[in-house]
Amino acid sequence: MVLNLLLNHKLYILRDCIIGMEKRYYFDTSIWRDYYENRSDRFRPLGEWALKLINEILESQDIILFSDFVIEELKVKYSEEEINKILEVVSKRDLLIKVNISEQQTIEAAKLCKEKKVAFGDALHTILARDNNAVMVTRDKHFLELLDIVEIKKPEDLV
């Protein structure tokens, strides 16, 4: 009986460790738009790749991160109702986490955008991904300037 309790205890510890090891992904605004609009370019099904990645993340119970800055960028094109609909695919499964933006991250992003000559938003998204141990998912070529900050992938690289 004691052996069974020890084995059960070890299984719970193992389960807790596995649950805490989910992967984290921070989606750039372009990925949300690819998914929602089912966008494509001449040769590539960008929306399909975004949806496939979202489905794989949901299946593996990994986490997608977003910030108020993503919401602000989405507001340029969409209503609040549409934004809720965009995020609903992940939020209804409790696998969407909003990350806060600190003053220090904003200051660092401002410095980084000057140093690397990238948009402030790209720098901020990158810092948020780094600080939250997430893979930055984007297809924006400007992020290539930020590879030394965080791991950056396109959806099709992850599916």
pLDDT at 123: 95
Q: What is the distance between the alpha carbons of residues 148 and 146, in angstroms, rounded to a whole number?
A: 5
Position of tokens 């990994």? Answer: 62
pLDDT at 16: 41
CATH classification code of 22-158: 3.40.50.1010
Confidence class for position 143, pLDDT limits 50, 70, 90: confident
Residue with the larger pLDDT of the pair 150 and 5: 150
125, 136 Cβ separation under 8 angstroms: yes
User: What does the domain layout of the chain look like in residue ranges?
Assistant: 22-158
The half-sphere exposure of 142 on its side-chain side, counting CA atoms within 13 A, is 15
Confidence class for position 45, pLDDT limits 50, 70, 90: very high
* pLDDT average, residue stretch 81-86: 95
154 Cβ contact partners less than 8 Å away, ≥ 6 residues apart: 49, 137, 138, 139
Q: What is the distance between the alpha carbons of residues 30 and 50, in angstroms, rounded to a whole number?
A: 10
Mark out the alpha helices in the chain (DSSP H runs): 2-19, 29-37, 46-60, 68-75, 80-91, 103-116, 120-131, 155-158
The pTM for the full model equals 0.83
* pLDDT average, residue stretch 145-156: 92
